[in-house]
Amino acid sequence: MPSTWSNWALTIFAAIGAVFALVTLERLREEISETKKAAEAATRSADADTLAMQLSNRGFAHIGDWGNISISDEQSNVMYSISNRGKTPIHVEGGFMRLQFQMEPITNPEHPAFAEGEFALNPTKFLIDPALEWTQPIPSQRIGPFAKAPDMLRPLMSFPPMTPLGVRLWKLGINVKVFLTGEIVYRDSFFPGTKRHRKYFAIKTGRNQGGWYKNEAGRNDEDDDES
C-alpha cells in the first residue's frame, strides 16, 4: 500500500509539474509576443521619426525664373534656373526639357501676314505642324541648400530653330503657341535611404503674351521614382 501511495504521489507531482511547465511556457510565449510587438512599435516609431526628420531637412528641386523665349533663324532660346528650396544639398542627375510650337490657320485677310503674298494664296500654310518639337537634356549638377544653380546665374537652354515659315510668322507677330514641358530627376542628401525624386513642369506662352503661364494640361508636381 505505501508503494501505491508513493506512485500516486509521484504521478500527482509530475502532473503538477507539467501544468506548471505549460503555464510557464505560455507566459513565456506571451512575453516574447509582447516584446516583439514592442520592438515592432519602436521600429515603426523610429522609422516615422526618421521620415519626419528627412522631410523637414531634405532639399526640394524647383525650376522657374523663366525668361521670355528668344526665336531666331538660328535657334530658340529659353533662360531658366533650377533652385533648391530645402535645408540640405540636392544632386540633379538629369532630366529633359521639351519645346513645342502650335498655331491655328489664319483666315482674316486683313492680317498683316497676308501681305506676304504667297501666304495669301493658301491660308492653311499658316498651320505649323503640332508635332514640331525638340527635346534637350538637363545637365547634372549639385545645388546647395536654399541656392540656385549654377552660381546664382540662369543657364540658357538652346533648341534648334523653328521652320523658316514659323520664324517668319513669329516675326510678323502671329500668336504662335509655345509649350515647355519636362522633368528633373534628382536625389536628396539622405539617398539611398530615400528614393529618387521626379519634379515635373509644364508651362506655356505665346507671341506678345508677356510671360509664361502654368499649363494645366500638364504635370506641375513631384513624385518618387519607383523604378
Taking all residues of the chain, what is their mean pLDDT, rounded to a whole number?
76
Alpha-carbon distances, residue 13 vs 23, 47, 137 (angstroms): 15, 50, 83
Backbone angles phi, psi at 197, to 5 degrees: -120, 150
pLDDT on residue 73: 86
172 pLDDT more than 80:
no
Higher pLDDT, 52 or 1: 52
Whether 35 has a pLDDT exceeding 80, the answer reads no
pLDDT in tens, 183-193: 999 999 988 88
- Using 50, 70 and 90 to split pLDDT, how confident is the model at 169? confident
Which H or E element spans position 79? strand 76-79
Rounded mean pLDDT, 216-224: 93
Q: Which residues contact 159 (CB under 8 A, 6 or more apart)?
A: 75, 76, 77, 78, 99, 134, 136
User: pTM for this structure?
Assistant: 0.70
The pLDDT value recorded for residue 152 is: 47
Coil, helix or strand at residue 78:
strand
Identify whether the C-beta of residue 93 lies closer than 8 Å to the C-beta of residue 187: yes
Reported as a pLDDT band with limits 50, 70 and 90, residue 209 is: confident
pLDDT in tens, 113-146: 555 555 544 555 545 555 568 899 999 998 888 7
Q: What is the DSSP string of 154-195?
A: --EEEEPPPPHHHHHHHHTT---EEEEEEEEEEEETTTTSS-
| 167 vs 115: CA distance, rounded Å | 16
> Percent of the chain scored above 90 by pLDDT?
27
Residue 215: its pLDDT value, please? 93
* Amino acid 160: pLDDT: 87
β-partners of residue 149 are 82
Where does the pLDDT of residue 151 fall: very low under 50, low under 70, confident under 90, or very high at 90 and above?
very low
